[in-house]
A and B are shown apart, each in its own frame.
Chain A
């Protein structure tokens, strides 16, 4: 490490939980950061969709995102490019030249960086791609990301303004399905159950039904599942919904309760789709611009499946849900891990660590 020349900057693409954590950690190590975010606001999906709280302990999203956003916005070492994306990357580890394009004006700026962290995140699955659930046609069929915003507003209502009395959550929409996305999004069971609890707390006489194939509340998130039954009386029905039919007044939900081998057709006031996690446009664009490997599902493919941060391209590191579906806490960890690798790369403390 030389004292005469400053360390090269690190380019961070995406300002969600992973990108913000990476930028804040790099700045904390005294390294300059160029942070590029395609949207106007920082924070990624939790801020864009106004998550009320985060699973598993229902802590306000602000508690997690606020400090990171403020740290990044106030840091003199971080240059933020909003409404912008990385259009191309030339050079090699230690001396990259990245082209940043403003999406609105089309203005292009080249920056010199020594390493790069790609944290382009995910998109909530667009449920209108799976027509059996009437999403986008029946107004009382919504996604968990939309319910999150309603919960943040403290008002959950049907399209005509009445409070829903019966709400069905349909798990694995756009997940574990060859017709859409075959992978498991890992978090939507826990998030749905968390929202079910919040619905019960908000609307005293609401009856909540979770229609699931498996309940995959991993690790300590299992508490959510237990408490939703034991403290909040939420009902669980095992099966996969074949159709939602909008009667005009209510929604007829068709499925099979596989625990009794019984087909059901039950009326609900609101249907919430536990939409899965899709790789999203930002990830595809970044992969193309930077020249990264993409797996068969469209997520960025690390060199080794068990070492997420190693992109396989020297000097470029991966973090967050652009690699695989994950929770906010895992994305933050990923951001920190990628920042560590990028710091090592620009300071030349050691050769970049890969899978070995």
Chain B
């Protein structure tokens, strides 16, 4: 099981699964396994003890998506990012929508964190391409271009 908690990054919380879990709102839906029926050797074991919360620990770094982003013309400088966050600091979209965070998207795609990627997928298209991030980027990453490249790569994957 891989991934980090979406607790602060838009993962769905407080759904139907595991409704009896104490402080349920802090657990990401995607990490809860709740079998309707659990049988062991013909004995019905169904019940609360069948419910598991997987750890949100990241168990591997996977750079395949990032390499695809780098091969896109507008994403070719993504590897120059050193995570200063200047892009997010000037981003007018990030000002309104905390789930859109160019700095964070670049890192998540680079390291390939599965649970977080879902958040990237949902929100990367919010980029308005105003280019303010690319003006201020100290390492000429062109974050606005990288957002487009990430969007393209994800779209290709989902096709």
Contacts and interface: CB of A to CB of B under 8 A. Distances in A.
Interface of A: 207, 209, 215, 225-226, 229-230, 233, 235-238, 257, 259-267
A230 B111 contact: no
Interface of B: 3-5, 8-9, 55-61, 63, 79-83, 104, 107-108, 110-111, 113, 116, 139
A235 B57 contact: no
Given A259-B83, A263-B58, 17 more contacts: A207-B61, A226-B80, A229-B80, A229-B81, A229-B82, A230-B79, A236-B82, A237-B111, A257-B111, A260-B104, A260-B111, A262-B5, A263-B4, A263-B55, A263-B56, A265-B57, A266-B61
A215 B82 CA distance: 10
Given A229-B79, A230-B80, A233-B79, A262 B61 contact: no
Which of A215, A236, A259 gathers most chain B CB within 10 Å? A259
Which of A230, A233, A238, A262 gathers most chain B CB within 10 Å? A262
A261 B8 contact: yes
A264 B107 contact: no
A262 B107 contact: no
Contacts of B81: 229
Contacts of B80: 226, 229-230
A207 B3 CA distance: 20
8 contacts: A215-B82, A226-B80, A230-B80, A236-B83, A237-B111, A260-B4, A263-B55, A267-B60
A201 to B, nearest CB: 17
A126 B107 CA distance: 33
B110 A257 contact: no
Given A260-B116, A262-B116, A264-B57, A235 B4 contact: no
Given A260-B4, A262-B4, A238 B83 contact: yes
A226 B58 contact: no
Which of A230, A260, A261 gathers most chain B CB within 10 Å? A260
Given A226-B139, A229-B82, A236-B82, A260 B108 contact: yes
A235 B61 contact: yes
Contacts of A229: 79-82
B8 to A, nearest CB: 7
A238 B59 CA distance: 16
A266 B4 contact: no
Contacts of A261: 4-5, 8
